[in-house]
Structure 1
């Protein structure tokens, strides 16, 4: 049969092509709908995980701030003395520094201030002032009247002079049950909280909002995600009661895809039924000329020209592109999951070291087995990079990360060679935690010491820096791991007195006495007084102070606190005694001392830096003392007072008659030359002699009072306690204990 034209073939093609097109299109729509539904559900799950993670991280930071603040309020002796003791500039400075340490330790904190109930004054990082002059006084007063304390407030406007900032605040009563002594207030900027949260998300994909317990947003309505979106994830904090809402940008479109998938499937099924029915109908009509159609199709297949590239759309290319996008998105999701696993591991180790898992034992067991750990015996070591400031200046951030990776990898490799199981994690920029897990509790400490020494020697031989490793106490139960970590931290903190590049076992330092603080403060005041008076013994006194700290093996924090007090007392004593031309040398010395405290790791380094910084200042003070008027006369008067200070009749009038100089002029010259009043100088000599007798003799307090010229023993005790800080009996008892500890 010869066909004259191809109209029939065209009609057949036109009959079947719409059916084929509709069928294939619907199948493609089904496939895309299923893929979209999977992607949307995965995105929703990731959104919920992210919301829970952010809530946990924010709660952990807020709990840490609240815990440290509460601990400081309950245990800080300086803070207690500030609230109940007499006004003292040095103590106010120390307490201000103590408050500042919270701001330094937690970057979220905007400001911290302390209200003292007995005189209604507020101390912050800049000054102390009456509450009537404090900008944020209204909130302080309302917080003191509140029944609850220790609860983070909703966002509020903190008054700051002419300006105001939005903050969330935590108020703590001191003491906690009554607040009768004072009130500690901590403020966190809402903008800092916003930045902290948005650092943990990809802002191109995800939106985050935070609401207080009343449903008011922290960051403004502009950033609020619609609560009606199915893809929104909301987590309510058990600690603060705040609601964390996470949403995916374009969430309405995803919602439509998620809920529209059923519609697409129904439409596709309908199209398939239509296609099947249409196919049967056309086939039935075309049944008789089937052979002719087949013949013509055969002829057509050989005669038809191939389509030009790009002339018709290739549906399979579209499907291939969709699959490629699916694989790419899945790989990106897996990378995110890996990053979350690293964060999860760090969080797990932090909780383990703090011992905070008891509230959720089931979750703890799940994490414990997830990371492949088994119960047994444990011990913690803390590796610290020596001279970390120089390390940070010498190497780029990339090189620092590489070196840290090398150190942790070496620890893991050495442990594997020794047949040991360890977990390592950099918990701080310069500190690596090593958790050793062993089935043998007897040789646990020996195994850790061997491992630590091998790591230390390897780093010293192969790298351009050294490390110091503190070894904690063995832990035979899981809750004791936190104690082992604390012991390791205490051990490595003794590096300042024991030296760097070594292994410090907690056995060497646990239970070591820290000495009496007022003894150190007395030494510091002696150093400053001798330097101010240009006495050549001040370097010896400084060396004696460092030697005493070395003998007592003080922690780094204690050494820094004492030496900061030395810098403060030096500036306080010399600032008023030096002329303006010489104050530049005082500022240079202060800068050198503070730089040494920041960059030095050991007492030997600190002692050398302090001597280097103070010698030029001492020379300047000596030159000024030599050039002052009547220096020789004042020196004779001072020597006379030093020899006859126990004479009850010693006074300015007696000195005026003896040295032929007016009492008022003598008092002025004495103040100008020595930096203190005659009466204060005389009392200081008497108190020094009294302390010597209390230390070296068994004479009673009344006998000592009469010897140094006090007819009334009560007056002597009052003056002694004001100068020394403790009563004569307490001083003698503390010196006896101090001598026994040595």
Structure 2
């Protein structure tokens, strides 16, 4: 029977898709506009930041070059050193003329410099390119007086008005001063002034008046200068860059109307592309829906042909929607298929697992071969193997949960495929519980299961699972037997091997032939070892560490089972708890049930004997430290004496501090400070400085070592901090102290 679709099917399909299509396209166009807009703003801000940083770096570099060149010229010319050292009336007019001319030449070499002058502290005389004058006649004396008050201010100052003489026209400058002679100063002051006009012109040359806005402000946010004398409100500020050397803040941005002009053009292009896309998509949608009508008609015809005629006559008049009919038919078919496959798969897995369980336990062997043929867990040629061996893969750590069936099936498939990659092997894997994966390896050759091949196969399985599933297993390889009837022996030997994982499980694999001939625990031997260990621990010597190493060596040599090892370690912990657990509050906390429970859990989860020894040793070290501290509590006076001796021996260590002492002597910083005030009637810092300065005085008087070397030798990182501390204590600089000591020696 042929089903005629309604004539409006094509229209209905179009109406179903079209609203979603239009909404999606509209959102994409709008998001594209927003993204382009935001990207443009971010890139503009980045470009403006780079430009502003370049301007700031250029200004700082220009002023730094001027400062460095002038300082080199002043320092290299002995004329200015003589000027600073001389008193009033000691220099000739020719000398003053030459010195002033030298300043004039420096002034002519730098276009940005407004003036250079030297101030001599001994008689308040000022040397300028015009000559000498007294401080009271100098129009810039306010700046000099401020510099004398604030000696630490050696950087560039904010713009100010400057003139030398009363009849000069004032101009805006920025200034900086340096104390001479370098580096300590004390005889005079060098003042350099830069024309603000030159700075402004340099800023204007580096900015585009048609695009950029740049404002210069001081740290208090007061406006100092706007590039090209533009209106500050003419643009949007995007970035702020601080010029720390100049004490200024540069604000920059883009003029209004310039930021998004090109963005609009790009947006119009996107809108045009979007409209063209919509037109093309509509045409494609119409074509696709028209073409899809024919397959739907064919599907409907097939569904109707498969239905019984009585059901067809009943359903045909009531079916208003062809897709609903198709959906109902497919849903019914899929449900039946899924139910059947699920049931079949579950039954197959259950029967295969039960078959392997019976095989390992040696039960129901009369019907074993018939069930084996029916379930087909192995290839046909391995159904009657000439040699067979059992591998048991046991998880390290927590078991897999019952809801992780997919992971279990994946592991089974991986193990079987790895075994079948070896052409002479057949592999069959099943889970026993949530922890053990049993793998049967079969060969159709009598000598096919070589032990080396089995070892390599187990290593491949272990590495593959660890790499891809992040799970770790220990593999026990059972003995190779000649057929299904003897496979229980192989399973038993593999299971026994896993009981010796800690001592035999090298590389997470245990071979059954590695098992010891005698497996009974030598209780007396190990109990004596435990008693010897506790005795050595009580004597507070290092013998307990040797005893612990010997105990773990014995574990490995005797190849005792994992359960016996953990039982002996539990007995050791109990003996230590009875012996030391009540001696102090700290030891009580070490033997608290919560700590011991966590320790047992860590020991239980570790996979190697070395790992168990490491965990136990870390815990024993902490117990030993607390036990020793109980036996060796130091008196108050002894602690003070040790502190004093330690500081006198290590005062030249730059890292010596209260925190260092508290870590070294296991006391708090506050307690160490208290001990100093009580015993020496001074703070720790003062005591330390006193020792360092005393040694520095001896070195300055008795040696020719450089001040920098002396600073390092007495515990200071550099000569500047050393000189500051030395002058505060002794009242003079290290150099002056050395001179005074030299004069006293000559007298």
Q: Does the pair score TM above 0.5? A: no
Larger radius of gyration: 2
Higher RCO (CA < 8 A, seq sep 6+):
1
Q: TM class, shorter-chain normalised? A: 0.3 to 0.5
